[in-house]
Amino acid sequence: MDAALHHHKVVSMDSEFPGFLRKTPRLSDELSAFADMKFNVDNMKLSNWESGIDFEELRINGIDQLFFSNMFTHVLSRHRDLKWLTFHGLYDLAYMVKLVTKKPLPVSVGFH
């Protein structure tokens, strides 16, 4: 991934998750939308057994989550000029933040 990002500056991602525990009304303000997203991401797993994932295949040939998180963090620190392409990316990026930081999402929108 590190080598590819020297020549390709666009990262595309799409995650699959089972749904929502708390739905955000369509015209909600930013703080309410963030609070609902935080609640959902902090209380749900990105993947679960109902998603059709072959966990045995991942156990044998997959990448360890901690290893991926550490490597991904390292790569991101070296490539700060990336463009991100997502499909309804709010949740995609929130789950990525949770994976990389190994913590629940921050309590407020304006974190660094």
Domain spans of the chain, in order of start: 4-17+29-101
Whether 40 contacts 21, CB under 8 Å: yes
Predicted local distance difference test score (pLDDT) of residue 9: 87
In terms of Cα–Cα distance, which of 108, 107, 91 is closest to 37? 91
> The tokens of 36 are what?
């609902």
Predicted local distance difference test score (pLDDT) of residue 66: 83
Segment among 14-28, 51-65, 69-83 with least mean pLDDT: 51-65
Mean pLDDT confidence for 36-62: 78
- Identify the top-confidence range among 13-22, 26-35, 44-53, 74-83: 26-35
In terms of Cα–Cα distance, which of 11, 34, 25 is closest to 94? 34
Burial of 10 (0-12, 13-18, 19+ CB in 10 A): exposed
Q: Would you place residue 40 in the very low, low, confident or very high pLDDT band (cuts 50, 70, 90)?
A: very high
Q: How far apart are CA 45 and CA 16, in angstroms?
A: 10
Q: Would you place residue 27 in the very low, low, confident or very high pLDDT band (cuts 50, 70, 90)?
A: very high
SS3 34: helix
User: H helices within the chain, ranges in order?
Assistant: 30-43, 55-61, 65-78, 89-101
Predicted local distance difference test score (pLDDT) of residue 99: 80
